[in-house]
Chain A
Amino acid sequence: MDQHNSHHQPELRVYLRVWLWLFVLSVLSYLVDISGLEGLPKWGLITLFMLLKAGLIVAFFMHMAWERLSIIYTVLLPPAVLLFLAALMAMEANYTLVSRLGVAN
Chain B
Amino acid sequence: MATHDSDASPQREGTAGLIRDWSVDRRVFDVPWGKAMMWLFILSDVFIFACFLVGYMVLRMSTVEPWPDASEVFALTIAGQSIPLLLIAIMTFILISSSGTMALAVKYGYANDRRKTAILLLITALLGASFVGMQAFEWAILIGEGVRPWENPWGAAQFGAVFFLITGFHGTHVTIGVIFIVIMAVKVMRGSLDGQRPGFLTGRKGSYGMVESLGLYWHFVDLVWVFIFAFFYLW
Contacts and interface: CB of A to CB of B under 8 A. Distances in A.
B90 to A, nearest CB: 11
A70 B84 contact: no
A5 B2 contact: yes
Contact of A1 (B32, B93, B107): B32
B22 A70 contact: yes
B101 to A, nearest CB: 9
Interface SS, B side: helix
Interface residues of B, number: 73
Interface string B209-230: 1101001100110110011011
B219 A2 contact: no
A50 B103 contact: no
Contacts of B36: 71
A93 B99 CA distance: 35
B136 interface: no
Contact of A68 (B21, B32, B55, B111): B21
Contact of B222 (A57, A71, A90): A57
A82 B50 contact: yes
B71 interface: yes
A69 B14 CA distance: 7
B85 interface: yes
A23 B94 CA distance: 10
Nearest to B15: A69
Contacts of A104: 64
A46 B2 contact: no
A interface, over-half SS = helix
Contacts of B17: 68-70
A4 B54 contact: no
B110 interface: yes
B100 A75 contact: no
A41 interface: no
22 contacts: A1-B209, A2-B1, A2-B196, A3-B2, A9-B107, A9-B110, A18-B103, A23-B96, A26-B229, A32-B234, A33-B233, A57-B222, A57-B223, A60-B103, A61-B103, A69-B21, A74-B43, A78-B47, A79-B47, A85-B50, A93-B62, A97-B63
Identify the 8 closest CB pairs spanning chains A and B, nearest first. A93-B61, A50-B230, A96-B62, A70-B21, A1-B207, A69-B18, A19-B100, A93-B62
Interface of A: 1-7, 9-10, 12, 15-16, 18-19, 22-23, 26, 29-30, 32-34, 43, 46-47, 49-50, 53-54, 57-58, 60-63, 67-71, 73-75, 78-79, 82, 85-86, 89-90, 92-94, 96-97, 100-101, 104
